[in-house]
């Protein structure tokens, strides 16, 4: 009877230790963070309409130069905070890197009101029915994608970007990429 | 005027957009079934079929598009896992470490069942001293009544006889 | 001023609990009779302090005193009064404060009930309960302090979460769950005391049973109300998403239910003692784990609060109670020697043992599935999801097996049963079950699992009704009593038995409703302009127009719908989209038309004021209302079973079972 008690006790203790370890490891990580698997993969193609001119813009047109895609929406508070950061980065680095904004789940009028007068260094694109956002694995706004000159997605920032992070990611864009893998279309 | 006011008011809210037109019933059933297996990235644990979010409907549109294009279920799931990883599947794939979550409950059941079978067979069945059923009560009993060794019923009868 | 008063009361509660815990545990271990009065005084002081602190917070909320930290978090001048009071438990710190008050009430109730006991008996139990109280008072006084002072004082606050203001169920669902959760501390205290003493006699079993049944009832109500709220408010058409917090409330319910059955074997046959005590400990442990899951911010859930400092503190407490419980079971468990034995394979106690196993397996599965994403991430860094499809796949077979046992167990006698008995007992119910399946097949219903569930529901339902009314028939035939009197007499003579079977009927209803509402759903989506209509089943749904409105705390747009049902009757429904100030996503309110056997469920997905047009999701859910309508059966059955009988076995009575037929009325056997 005693021996059985010890066995039960030991196995329960082991299970408890595993449980407590696993729960403790959970601290500090964000349970709402969604994994991003497109790092190092070619950016999916898209054709979107420009907000100011209505002209179509294809991803293939933009190859050859690094590209920063910034997803935002007029109803998104943090996007308002982030917008000047991206605009200034576009003005400063627009000759080396292309900056494009993509309107996420929003109406044309609201997007126009938010974006203000058209900015040649930071054109805005309309994502009809979020098809491009789905293709890019967007999980919310604001999100900023960093794509290199060969069209490989290098990184994604899924929070309102600050100047420091922007500089880091832009610098990384200039480095050569690793081996490329296929993405499911 | 009211529309204008409401328009201004609603400017601060994400406009909800409808999904694409459903396919024919057979393929739409496949779309819905797949939708229930895929996790909505901007919701709390719901599937894209269940979620009311406009963005989730956009993902369902994509599933519909892929089904209409003739993709297999495996390929459609692969589309989402290549963007979000295994996280996108609400049912974990049965491989590697995930096998634990699929088989541990089964092992527990089998182990427990075995232990119970041994316990029940090992101990000799000792019945409660069953009060001998009175002959009249035996005849009066119809099929479906409680067996004679139910002490509760006997206790009820004993009390009634007092 | 309020901050100071509140903090002082909380600290007072902490002191009272600490004092009472020390005196209680020491006095219980060393058999000091004089300690009981001291502990009772400490319990009263704890109650006064905790309830006082809660009343102080309610006062601060109602008077919009934004200098108090918690009020500045959830208070708002625009919020209606009801929701202002309710916001006491709408956010983390307030809910822990509320927890403390309920804990104090339960411990006080237990202390009152046992104040005339031989003084050494309740000491250990009370000491343990107060020790738990110490932890929660410490939490309230420290990491989760709602009474901190805010300066400068803001003029207004953000108000409680908009989802919590959408529906009146939000007022009832959390308190019910808290009453269920917190109440598990009492059986925990009793079980710990029993293990330390190394004996669990009948008197303490009765107390343990009753003090589990009370929180069990509240927990059942809380869970069903939560499901109802998810269905009626959240608008995704479901009532159970296997969300981590939903699972957290379900786990202790499972072990408490298993305990209530295992306790019967303990009382009748004096065996399965270790099972019974372990289930009791597990119920409490799972409530602490559940609270951790809800509050720590580690789990992704609809309910999750933000990550806070109480997470690590809670984890430490969880570890401590786990270690204490395991030590007690391993070291003292073997002392709970079975004095009886199990009958054969076909006996009621074996059925209950199998029931224990099934419930334990279901508990383990739900717990494993909820925690597994964390396990994978801890060991391999990969994020996976374990969601509805997994839980449904695992829980459905177990649930069906439990439903089967619900028919088998009550049919079998205690002790050994002959093959003759078994055949006789099962013939009619099995026949009814088969008939149900045939009728469903004839009506055109298909689907193996659903039909199996219906058949087993017929089987278990027949057994339950038979066991309820068999004594009635005996009384009517042999005593010549009229039906109502026979029912009343047989029910009140065996309250636990009758009440338990009433609850079983409720459970059968829930199984039926869940099977029907999951297997035979009809669904469509449509976009309509005013005047257009679509068809769903026997319903015609027509859009009349869109309109909008403004409430003090929200704005909304509603679609006016005219529904014509199969009989030609007209109903007006208005699914809505609500826009709250605090969130950028609108929160939809579904419109539901409940008939006796099905619900028509409409949600407004999108609208275009320009066209104008509106898009809808529409479902027909068969039998779903029966889930909520089973609640009265649960509550009535449980209350009836828990009601104290006129000749109560006092807790001070000798703890060995008296010889049969001695000192007990036969009618009180069950």
Q: Which residues pair with C578 in a beta bridge?
A: C556, C587
d(CA C546, CA C614): 8
Which residue in chain B is spatially nearest to A103 when comparing CA positions? B14
Whether the Cβ atoms of residue C114 and residue C645 lie closer than 8 Å to each other:
no
**Interchain CB contact of C76 with B (< 8 Å):** no
Residue C269 in any domain: the answer is no
Judged by phi (left if over 0) then psi (alpha if -120 to 50, else beta), residue A151 lies in left
- Asked if B3 reaches chain C (Cβ–Cβ under 8 Å), the answer is yes
Q: Does a structural domain hold residue C551? A: yes
Q: Cβ–Cβ of C609/B3 closer than 8 Å?
A: yes
Q: What is the pLDDT of residue C300?
A: 77
B7 at C interface, C-beta within 8 A: yes
Verify whether the Cβ–Cβ distance C315 to A20 is below 8 Å. Answer: yes
Domain carrying residue C136: 1-165
Break chain A into its structural domains and give their ranges: 1-32, 47-174
- The residue from C139, C165, C191 where one domain ends is C165
pLDDT digits (tens, 9 = 90+) for C38-55: 999 999 999 999 999 999
Minimum distance, in Å, between the CA of residue A94 and any CA atom of chain C? 32
SS3 content of chain A, % helix, strand, coil (to 5): 40, 20, 45
Give mean pLDDT, residues C323-337.
87
Please indicate whether, in this complex, the C-beta atoms of B61 and A134 are within 8 angstroms of each other: yes
- At residue B158, the pLDDT reads 59
Cβ distance of C329 and A8 shorter than 8 Å: yes
Q: How would residue A2 be classed by pLDDT, with cut points 50, 70 and 90?
A: low
Cα C441 from Cα C432, distance rounded (Å): 14
How many domains is chain C built from? 2
Residue C168's pLDDT is 78
Instruction: For C105-144, give the secondary structure using H, E and C.
Output: HHHHHHHHHCCCCCCCHHHHHHHHHHHHHHHHHHHHHCCC
Predicted local confidence at residue C185, as pLDDT: 97
The tens digit of pLDDT for each residue in B125-146 reads 444 443 333 333 333 333 444 4
Please list every residue in chain C whose beta carbon sits closer than 8 Å to the beta carbon of residue A6.
330
Residue with tokens 């989506």: C525
Instruction: Identify the pLDDT of residue C665.
Output: 39
Model pLDDT for residues C610-646, shown as the tens digit of each residue = 788 899 999 999 999 999 999 999 999 999 998 887 6
At residue A145, the pLDDT reads: 95
- CA dist list (Å): A52 to A55, A56, A60, A106, A122: 8, 11, 20, 15, 11
A5 touches chain B (CB under 8 A): no
Confidence (pLDDT) at C82: 84
Q: Judge contact between A15 and C314, C-beta under 8 A.
A: no
List the single range of A67-76, C67-76, C638-647 with lowest mean pLDDT.
C638-647
| B contacts of A133 (beta carbons < 8 Å) | 55, 58
What would the mean pLDDT of A149-156 be, rounded to a whole number?
A: 91
Q: Is C388 on the interface with B (CB under 8 A)?
A: yes
For residue C668, name the pLDDT band (cuts at 50, 70, 90).
very low
Q: What's the rounded Cα separation, in Å, for the pair C597 and B121? A: 46
Q: Flag whether residue B58 sits within 8 Å of chain A, measured between CB atoms.
A: yes
pLDDT of residue C670 exceeding 70, the answer is no
Radius of gyration of the CA atoms of chain B, in A:
31
Q: Is residue C140 very low, low, confident or very high in pLDDT (cuts 50, 70, 90)? A: very high
Is the bond leading into C612 cis (omega within 30 degrees of zero)? yes
Lowest mean pLDDT among A116-125, C422-431, C495-504, C582-591: C582-591
Q: What is d(CA C655, CA C651) in angstroms, rounded to the nearest whole number?
A: 8
Type and span of the H or E element at C363: helix C348-380
* Cβ neighbours of C371 in A, within 8 Å: 19, 22-23
Q: Measured between CA atoms, how close is A118 to chain C, in angstroms?
A: 26
Q: Mean pLDDT across the stretch C237-259?
A: 94
Q: Identify which of C160-174, C208-222, C309-323 has the greatest average pLDDT.
A: C208-222
Tell me the chain C residues in contact with residue B127 when contact means C-beta distances shorter than 8 Å.
343, 415-416
Residue C287 domain flag: no
- Complex confidence, ipTM: 0.88
Nearest to residue C517, comparing CAs of C455, C566, C450?
C450
In a domain, C319, yes or no: no
Determine the pLDDT at residue B129. Answer: 40
- The reply to whether residue C497 touches residue B92, judged by beta carbons under 8 angstroms, is no
Residue B88 near chain C (CB below 8 Å): yes
Residue range B5-38, pLDDT digits in tens: 455 445 567 777 778 888 888 899 999 999 999 9
The 10s digit of each residue's pLDDT in C411-433 is 998 888 888 888 888 999 999 99
| Cα–Cα dist C507/C496, whole Å | 16
Percentage of residues in chain C with pLDDT exceeding 90? 58
Question: For residue C606, what is the enclosing H or E element?
Answer: strand C598-608
Which pLDDT band holds residue C310 (cuts at 50, 70, 90)?
confident
| CATH code, domain carrying C135 | 1.20.120
Query: How do residues C449-475 score in pLDDT, each as one tens digit?
Result: 999 999 999 999 999 999 999 888 888
For residues C111 and C91, give the distance between their C-alpha atoms in angstroms, rounded to a whole number: 30
Per-residue tokens: C303: 């309910």
B51 touches A: beta carbon within 8 Å: no
**pLDDT for residue C422:** 85
Which of C322, C325, C331 to probe by mutation at the A interface, max A CB count within 10 Å? Answer: C322
CB contact under 8 Å between C389 and B37, yes or no, is yes
* Mean pLDDT, rounded, for C386-403: 96
- Sheet containing strand C522-528, edge to edge, reads C522-528, C613-622, C598-608, C591-594
Give the pLDDT of residue C590: 93
Q: Enumerate the residues of chain B whose CB falls inside 8 A of the CB of residue A106.
A: 14-15
| Gap between the Cα atoms of C64 and C58, Å rounded | 10
Over 70: is that where the pLDDT of A177 sits? no
Chain B residue numbers touching A130 (CB-CB < 8 A): 54-55, 58
Spell out which residues of chain C touch residue B45, defining contact as CB-CB under 8 Å: 241-244, 300-302, 385, 387
Residue C27 lies in a domain: yes
Residue C122 belongs to some domain of the structure: yes
From A5's Cα to the closest Cα of chain B, the distance in A is 15
Q: Which of A167-181, B56-70, B121-135, C194-208 has the highest mean pLDDT?
A: B56-70
Per-residue confidence band for C505, with pLDDT thresholds at 50, 70 and 90: very high
Instruction: List domains and CATH numbers for chain B.
Output: 14-88 (1.10.8.640)
Class of domain A47-174: alpha beta
Residue C598 lies in a domain: yes
| DSSP labels, C7-52 | HHHHHHHHHHHHHHHHHHHHHHHHT-TTHHHHHHHHHHHHHHHHHH
pLDDT tens-digit readout, C569-599: 999 999 998 887 766 778 888 999 999 999 9
Q: What percent of chain A has pLDDT over 90?
A: 51
Residue C496 has pLDDT above 60, yes or no: yes
Q: Indicate the DSSP class of residue C609.
A: T
Which range has the worst mean pLDDT, A167-181, C233-247, C301-315, C378-392? C301-315
How many angstroms separate the first and last alpha carbons of chain B?
Answer: 86
Q: What is the mean pLDDT of residues A80-87?
A: 92
In a domain, residue C124? The reply is: yes
**Which distant-in-sequence residues (6+ apart) come within 8 Å of C59 by Cβ?**
C2, C65
Half-sphere exposure of C384 (CA within 13 A, CB side): 26
Residues 526-545 of C with CB under 8 A from B: 527
Structure tokens at C450: 């659903």
Chains that touch A (3 or more CB pairs under 8 A): B, C
Q: Which of residues 147-206 of C touch B (CB under 8 A)?
A: none
**Residues of chain C positioned with their CB less than 8 A from the CB of B81:** none
Quote the pLDDT of residue C660: 44
Arithmetic mean of pLDDT over chain C: 88
Q: Is C598 helix (H, G, I), strand (E, B) or coil?
A: strand
- CB of B72 less than 8 A from some CB of C: no
pLDDT band at C339 (very low <50, low <70, confident <90, very high): confident
pLDDT at residue C661, rounded to an integer: 42
Determine contact: B95 vs chain C, CB below 8 A: no
- Partner-chain contact B41 A140, CB within 8 Å: yes
C-alpha to C-alpha distance for C152 and A7, rounded to whole angstroms: 59
Q: What is the DSSP string of A95-158?
A: TTSEEEEEE-S--HHHHHHHH-S--TTS-EEE-GGGHHHHHTT--SSSEEEEE-TTSBEEEEE-
Chain A with chain B: Cβ pairs closer than 8 A: 70
Average pLDDT, chain B: 76
Q: What is the mean pLDDT of residues C308-322?
A: 88
Q: Name which of A4, A5, A75 is nearest C331 (Cβ-Cβ).
A: A5
Compute the distance between CA of residue C150 and CA of residue B125 in angstroms, rounded to an integer.
69
Q: With CA atoms as reference, report the closest residue to C307 among C315, C318, C317, C295.
A: C295
């Amino acid at each position: 009877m005693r021996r059985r008690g010890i066995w039960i006790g030991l196995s329960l203790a082991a299970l408890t230790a595993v449980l407590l370890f696993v729960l403790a490891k959970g601290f500090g990580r964000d349970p709402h963070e969604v994994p991003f698997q497109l790092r190092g993969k070619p950016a999916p193609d898209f054709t979107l309409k420009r907000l100011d001119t209505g002209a179509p813009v294809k991803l293939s047109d933009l190859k050859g130069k690094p590209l920063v895609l910034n997803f935002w929406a007029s109803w998104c508070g943090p996007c308002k905070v982030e917008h000047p950061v991206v605009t200034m980065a576009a003005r400063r680095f627009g000759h080396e890197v292309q900056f494009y904004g993509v309107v996420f789940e929003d109406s044309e009028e609201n997007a126009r009101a938010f974006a203000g007068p058209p900015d040649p260094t930071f054109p805005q694109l309309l994502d009809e029915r979020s098809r491009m956002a789905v293709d890019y694995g967007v999980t919310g706004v604001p999100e900023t994608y960093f794509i290199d000159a060969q069209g490989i997605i290098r990184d994604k920032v899924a929070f309102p970007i600050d100047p420091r992070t922007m500089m880091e990611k832009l610098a990384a864009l200039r480095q050569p990429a690793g081996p490329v893998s296929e993405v499911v279309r | 005027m009211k529309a204008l006011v409401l328009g201004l008011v609603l400017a601060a809210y994400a406009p909800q957009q409808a999904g694409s037109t459903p396919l024919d019933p057979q393929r739409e059933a496949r779309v819905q079934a797949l939708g229930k297996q895929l996790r909505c990235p901007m919701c709390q644990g719901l599937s894209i079929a269940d979620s009311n979010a406009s963005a989730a409907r956009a993902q369902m549109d994509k599933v519909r598009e892929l089904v209409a294009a003739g993709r297999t279920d495996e390929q459609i799931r692969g589309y989402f896992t290549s963007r979000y990883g295994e996280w996108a599947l609400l049912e974990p794939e049965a491989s590697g470490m995930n096998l634990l979550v699929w088989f541990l409950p089964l092992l527990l059941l089998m182990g427990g069942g075995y232990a119970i079978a041994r316990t029940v067979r090992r101990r000799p069945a000792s019945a409660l001293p069953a009060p001998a059923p009175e002959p009249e009560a035996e005849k009066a009993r119809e099929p479906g009544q409680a067996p004679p060794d139910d002490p509760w019923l006997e206790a009820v009868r004993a009390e009634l006889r007092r | 001023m309020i901050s100071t008063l509140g903090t002082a009361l909380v600290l007072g509660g902490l002191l009272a609990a600490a004092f009472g815990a020390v005196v209680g545990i020491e006095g219980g271990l060393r058999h000091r009779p004089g300690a009981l009065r001291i502990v009772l005084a400490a319990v009263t002081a704890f109650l006064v302090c905790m309830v006082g602190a809660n009343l102080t917070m309610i006062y601060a909320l109602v008077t919009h005193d934004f200098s108090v930290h918690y009020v500045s978090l959830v208070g708002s001048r625009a919020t209606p009064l009801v929701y202002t009071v309710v916001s006491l438990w709408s956010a983390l710190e307030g809910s822990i404060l509320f927890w403390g008050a309920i804990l104090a009430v339960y411990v006080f109730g237990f202390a009152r009930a046992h104040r005339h006991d031989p003084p050494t008996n309740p000491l250990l139990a009370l000491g343990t309960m107060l020790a738990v109280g110490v932890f929660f008072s410490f939490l309230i006084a420290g990491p989760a302090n709602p009474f901190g002072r805010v300066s400068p004082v803001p003029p207004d606050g953000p108000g409680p979460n908009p989802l919590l203001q959408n529906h009146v169920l939000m007022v009832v669902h959390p308190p019910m769950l808290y009453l269920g959760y917190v109440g598990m501390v009492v059986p925990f205290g009793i079980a710990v005391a029993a293990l330390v003493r190394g004996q669990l006699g009948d008197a303490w079993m009765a107390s343990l049973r009753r003090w589990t049944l009370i929180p069990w009832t509240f927990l059942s109500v809380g869970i069903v109300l939560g499901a109802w709220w998810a269905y009626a408010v959240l608008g995704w058409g479901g009532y159970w998403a296997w969300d981590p917090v939903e699972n957290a409330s379900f786990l202790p319910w499972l072990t408490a239910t298993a305990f209530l059955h295992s306790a019967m074997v303990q009382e009748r046959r004096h065996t399965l003692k270790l099972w019974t005590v372990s289930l009791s400990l597990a119920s409490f442990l799972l409530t602490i784990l559940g609270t951790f899951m809800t509050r720590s911010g580690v789990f992704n859930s609809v309910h999750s609060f933000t990550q806070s400092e109480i997470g690590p503190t809670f984890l430490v407490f969880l570890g401590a109670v786990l270690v204490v419980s395991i030590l007690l079971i391993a070291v003292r468990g073997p002392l709970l020697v079975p004095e009886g034995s199990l009958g054969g394979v076909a006996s009621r106690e074996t059925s209950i043992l199998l029931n224990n196993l099934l419930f334990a397996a279901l508990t383990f599965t739900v717990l494993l599935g909820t925690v597994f994403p964390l396990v994978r991430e801890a060991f391999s860094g990969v994020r996976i999801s374990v969601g509805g499809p997994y839980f449904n796949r695992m829980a459905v077979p177990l649930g069906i097996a439990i439903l089967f046992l619900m028919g088998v167990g009550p049919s079998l006698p205690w002790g050994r049963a002959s093959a003759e008995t078994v055949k006789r007992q099962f013939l009619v119910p099995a026949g009814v079950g088969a008939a149900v399946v045939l009728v469903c097949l004839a009506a055109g219903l298909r689907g193996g699992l659903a039909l199996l569930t219906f058949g087993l529901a017929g089987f278990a339902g027949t057994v339950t009704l038979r066991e309820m009314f068999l004594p009635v028939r005996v009384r009517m035939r042999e005593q010549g009593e009229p039906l109502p009197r026979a029912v009343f007499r047989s029910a009140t003579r065996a309250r636990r038995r009758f009440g338990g079977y009433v609850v079983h009927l409720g459970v059968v209803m829930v199984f039926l409703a869940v099977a029907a509402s999951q297997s035979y759903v009809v669904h469509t989506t449509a976009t309509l302009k005013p005047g257009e209509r679509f068809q769903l089943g026997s319903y015609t749904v027509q859009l009349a127009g869109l309109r909008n409105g403004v409430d003090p705390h929200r704005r909304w747009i509603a679609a006016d719908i005219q529904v014509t049902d199969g009989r030609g009757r007209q109903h007006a429904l208005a699914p809505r989209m609500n826009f709250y100030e605090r969130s950028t996503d609108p929160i939809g309110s579904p419109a539901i038309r409940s008939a006796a056997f099905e619900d028509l469920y409409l949600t407004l997905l999108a609208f275009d004021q320009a066209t104008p047009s509106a898009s809808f999701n529409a479902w027909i859910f068969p039998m779903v209302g029966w889930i909520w309508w089973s609640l009265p059966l649960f509550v009535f059955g449980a209350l009836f079973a828990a009601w104290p009988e006129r000749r109560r076995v006092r807790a001070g009575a000798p703890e060995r079972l008296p010889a049969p037929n001695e000192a007990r009325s036969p009618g009180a056997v069950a």
